[in-house]
Amino acid sequence: MLRDQLSELLRPVVHGLGYELWELEYAPRAGGALLRLYIDSPNGISLDDCERVSHAVSDELDATDPIPGQYTLEVSSPGLDRVLRTSAQFARFQGERVKLEMSQPVEGRRRFLGRLSAVNEAEIVLEVEGCEVRLPLSGIHKARLEPEA
């Protein structure tokens, strides 16, 4: 899958500049694909950081030419309501509120909003309305942080 190949190719480039590649989206479209990178660092992300990564990634993509045809590159911060995919990303935000949707129902539900109380390589535990719910990472369709007002 091209998205995974792009992640493998670009993660070291982003990391070499001192940032974390939080998420990569690749959407092929008529008239040109969209490649969107979300980067993060302990100090936050500024416009200068995005420009710096954009130039380095563009150079790498020009040299290796992995994307057929035209594409648009966007680089930005993952934001407060960032997507969570990996156990490491979930672990980083343990104690925070998470909104997620499962691929298949768990305990009769597909959508959950709760506080992330535990994480391991195979599952997360959410506290939902006073009850703990164990959810397999492999079954999570999409998940985001739910910032508190």
- pLDDT at position 10, please? 98
Output the tens digit of pLDDT for each of the chain's 149 residues: 889 999 999 999 999 999 999 999 999 988 899 999 999 999 999 999 999 999 999 999 999 999 988 999 999 999 999 999 999 999 999 999 999 999 999 989 999 999 999 999 999 999 999 999 999 999 999 999 999 87
DSSP per-residue letters across 34-95: EEEEEEE-TT---HHHHHHHHHHHHHHHHHH--S-S-EEEEEE---TT-B--SHHHHHHTTT
Q: Which residue has the tokens 């391991």?
A: 120
Rounded Cα distance, 19 and 38, in Å: 10
Determine the CATH number of domain 87-145: 2.30.30.180
Give the pair of three-digit tokens for residue 21: 């590649």
Alpha-carbon span 40 to 45, nearest angstrom: 6
Position 148, amino acid = E
Residue ranges per domain, the chain? 2-76, 87-145
Question: Which pLDDT belongs to residue 31?
Answer: 86
Q: How far apart are CA 84 and CA 44, in angstroms?
A: 17
Q: May I ask the CATH architecture of the domain 2-76?
A: 2-Layer Sandwich (3.30)
At 147, the amino acid letter reads: P
Question: What is the distance between the alpha carbons of residues 144 and 32, in angstroms, rounded to a whole number?
Answer: 28
Q: Pull the structure tokens for residue 26.
A: 């690749």
The pLDDT score that the predictor gives to residue 1 is 84
